[in-house]
Homo-oligomer: A and B are copies of this chain.
């Protein structure tokens, strides 16, 4: 299988490297900045290209892994491409390709990627869909080289997954950051919270979060809630969030 990669960001980099590791041939990498394309291409034994017109039209799959609002524009430049075109976005409909190709699909890895953090694709849920049965088989074949967790999900449900992921990942990380802010304001180090963060995530691996909620809000421990609010008087933004989230937790009692 010959693959071309469009994009050289976090997702493109992890995906290209994971495919390369399973002996998929990455032939080309393109990115807005040639230097980024070169950086990734060199890691996966591919050629970096400066212009999309140089795209290898004989490749089997073209994976577009760029910013959501750039996908449509790139798709327009791929009308000559005969292989399968997929994007990796959580929130862009598959139909973004409808005017450019008849063989298209989506391969959305439900995971958070940072370039510097290694991770294994083996257990990442890969959400796939495609415009026709042949295309679906091909994207599934590609996906199952990477992960044991391949799920067929349509564009509408994928958008919901992406939204849920914002709550479970992006917002969660922001609360780690808010905790860091609370500590920093009092000359305390974030390091002491790390085992707690690990365990909080570990707990919901085999249970549902609603069943393991702990803390003053779920106990309706007014005394502690009040003490915490007093501690946050000098940080009005944190105080507002503390109150809103505590109220939200109380509603689940």
- In the bound complex, do residue B200 and residue A172 qualify as a contact, i.e. CB atoms below 8 Å apart? yes
A23–B174 Cα gap in the complex (Å)?
A: 41
Cβ–Cβ < 8 Å partners of A215 in chain B: 166, 169-171
Chain A interface size band reads 35 or more
Are B161 and A183 touching (Cβ within 8 A)?
A: yes
Q: Is the interface of A mostly helix, strand, loop or mixed?
A: helix
Oligomeric state, in number of copies?
Answer: 2
Report whether B168 and A200 are in contact in the complex, using a CB–CB cutoff of 8 Å. Answer: yes
A186 at interface, CB cutoff 8 A: yes
Chain B neighbourhood of A112, CB < 8 A: 196, 199-200, 203, 214
Of the candidates B10, B157, B198, the one whose C-beta lies within 8 Å of that of A186 is B157
Residues from chain B with Cβ under 8 Å of A231 in the complex: 159-160, 163
- A200 contacts which chain B residues (CB < 8 A)? 112, 168-169, 172-173, 201
A198-B201 contact, Cβ under 8 Å, with A164-B183, A192-B161, A224-B91: yes
**Complex Cα–Cα for A10 and B213 (A):** 13
Cβ proximity bits A202-246 to B, threshold 8 Å, 1 near / 0 not: 111101111011111111010110011001100001001110110
